[in-house]
Amino acid sequence: MVANTYDAIVIGGGHNGLVAAAYLARHGARTIVLEARHKTGGAADTSQPWPEAPEFRVNTLSYTISLMPPTIIRDLQLERHGYKVHPLGRGYIPLPDGRSLIETDDFEADRRQFAKFSEHDAENLVSYYEWLDHLTKILAPILMLTPPKMGSTSIADALDQARFAWGMRDDLSVRTVAEITRLFTSSAADLLDRWFESPIVRGSLAVNGIIGTWFGPYSPGSAYVLAHHSVGDLGDGVLAGWGFAEGGMGAISDAIRSSAESLGATVRVNAPVEKILVLNGRAVGCVVAGGEEFHAPVLVTACHPKITFLRQIDRAELPPTFVHDIEHWKTRSGVVKINLALDRLPEFTADPGFHPEIHGGSIVLTSEIDELERAFQDAREGRAASKPFSDCEIPSVVDPTLAPEGKHVMSMYTQWVPHTWAQEQPQDELEAYADRLIALFDDVAPGFRDSILHRQVIGPYEMEHEYHLIGGNIFHGELSVDQLFHMRPAPGYADYRTPIDGLYQASSATHAGGGVTGLPGHHVVREIVKDGALRKR
């Protein structure tokens, strides 16, 4: 069979793979994307899950956009290709006892809200947000860097390490280094204890430290995740700039694909790569299901590392230590995504009527921080949480294209169920878990259960087997301290290169991955160009 020859092959058509393809094409490389599923986008997807009601479109998995730098949006001219984002409200927590907490962009209003639970906490809001703002402004630029090979003594690597340290010199002091150390090693609960006393306030703020993770608010390292979700947009000085994508999250993937194709890239779906071809230690191409071959001097994988390095490549081609690191890459999750079609907006006991800050923002089902921890411990002990928490959003409030007039769609991003459900998922227990969550919402918004027209429940098993998120982990790997920066996804290979010459990596398991950022796709092409690996045409 005659192979198809390109300058570059991208394996995986999720948003990072599409970003890499667009930049490769922008550099003049004849590029093809090979996507296993019937559509591109991966977890950044909009779908119509109910054939009987195709007028409802939902954010299948990923549900908000942030962290994508303006650089990518401008370089790829994404707004020309349909990229549009509506701001997301800060947050709303309704409680069964009739109280609520509404966060806004008005500090005085926020202070009054927090004072309902604790005057002490309200007074500490300024110092907490100043502390968080200071550290996230130090961390945000690091997301734009390629990690150096920490510990390497080669001259080139030693210079990279020195440049990294020198670049940080103006931001660091003895005190700041101590605060960064505390951030990376503390739990969200311990961190928040420094400023706040109310269990409700601490619970509301701790949610950012556990979204998508396999640890609770008392787990060391959850403080970093809290900061990670506070970085927001990069490049324009905006922190925590979360938003709704018009047309749903799939519209972002579609805009990136459209940009890549306008630059000359080719995209193939229903083309699962079964084998990466390696000759004399160098990647030379790949084979898709059915036997068709593709050849190129540069390959970029945007797949989960366990798929690429443990399934698509003969392990004998890889260093044993690297194989060991990938085998032990932690990628657990206990996430369940619930998508709903509603015949009306929920009305909350605590705040009746329509409120843009509430219905157009993040609605969090939680209460005390200890209840969040109990939900995680339930899952750790092998059972679905008896009282799960959920981050809920109603994107149709600001984007009427997603539902018929007067009706709405809701995303419920929920935790936790046992991470072992990625291998074997008891469907009746999954549905019972969803029932409990909907009952909890009904407790704060009576009539909510009756407003549900359709529902879709996606557990870890479907996330792994349909969307190739191993373990159901949305980040392609846990954001624990031992899996960040130069360790992501393996020591010595956090620079988007791999042990195979000509094979690069750009999945969410690489540095700056986690969320719909496009950063791994951007950074990998920067390194490919630096290596001079692209053919000149």
C-alpha–C-alpha distance, residues 369 and 194, integer Å: 14
Residue of 291, 342, 273, 255 lying closest to 75 (CA atoms): 255
Residue 511: per-residue pLDDT: 94
Residue 237: per-residue pLDDT: 42
Residue written as token pair 């390292």 = 221
Q: Cα separations (Å) of 52 from 456, 460, 524? A: 13, 25, 42
Instruction: Tell me: cis bond preceding 395? Omega within 30 of 0 counts.
Output: no
* Burial label, 328 (beta-carbon count in 10 A; 0-12, 13-18, 19+): exposed
Residue of 221, 249, 320 lying closest to 65 (CA atoms): 249
Instruction: Tell me: cis bond preceding 166? Omega within 30 of 0 counts.
Output: no
Residue of 465, 331, 345, 340 lying closest to 390 (CA atoms): 340
Q: 4-46+65-85+245-330+476-530 belongs to which CATH class? A: alpha beta
**In the chain, how long is the greatest CA-to-CA distance?**
74
Annotate 352-418 with DSSP letters as a single string.
-S--HHHHTEEEEE---HHHHHHHHHHHHTTS--SS-EEEEE-GGGT-GGGS-TT-EEEEEEEE---
Residue range(s) in the chain whose domain bears CATH number 3.50.50.60: 4-46+65-85+245-330+476-530
Q: Which residues of the chain have pLDDT under 70?
A: 1-3, 67, 166-171, 230-241, 536-537
Residue type (1 letter), 522: H
Q: Cα separations (Å) of 475 from 6, 204, 516? A: 30, 22, 9
Cα torsion at 508, 511, 517, 522 (round to 10°)?
Answer: -100
Characterise 285 by phi-psi region: left (phi > 0), alpha (psi -120 to 50), beta (else): left
Residue 241: per-residue pLDDT: 62
Token readout for 300 is 């970029």
Residue of 415, 397, 241 lying closest to 338 (CA atoms): 415
- Residues with Cβ < 8 Å from 374, sequence gap 6 or more? 385, 386, 387
* Contact between 290 and 304 (Cβ < 8 Å): no
C-alpha–C-alpha distance, residues 105 and 91, integer Å: 10
Residue 224: per-residue pLDDT: 87
Residue of 179, 250, 508 lying closest to 399 (CA atoms): 250
Q: Cα separations (Å) of 289 from 37, 221, 272, 432, 475? A: 12, 40, 6, 38, 26
Residue 149: per-residue pLDDT: 87
* Structure letter (DSSP) for residue 88: P
Residue 1: per-residue pLDDT: 44
Residue range(s) in the chain whose domain bears CATH number 3.30.519: 335-465
Token readout for 259 is 């940009």
Residue 507: per-residue pLDDT: 97
Phi, psi (deg, nearest 5) at residue 9: -120, 130
The three-class DSSP label of residue 493 is coil
Token readout for 417 is 């169920």
Dihedral sign of CA atoms 76, 77, 83, 89 in order: positive
Token readout for 326 is 């990938």
C-alpha–C-alpha distance, residues 122 and 113, integer Å: 8
What is the per-residue pLDDT across 43-83, written as a single tens digit (0 to 9) for each?
999 999 999 999 999 999 999 887 688 899 999 999 999 99
Residues in a beta bridge with 101: 93
Residues in a beta bridge with 412: 338, 392
Q: 335-465 belongs to which CATH class? A: alpha beta
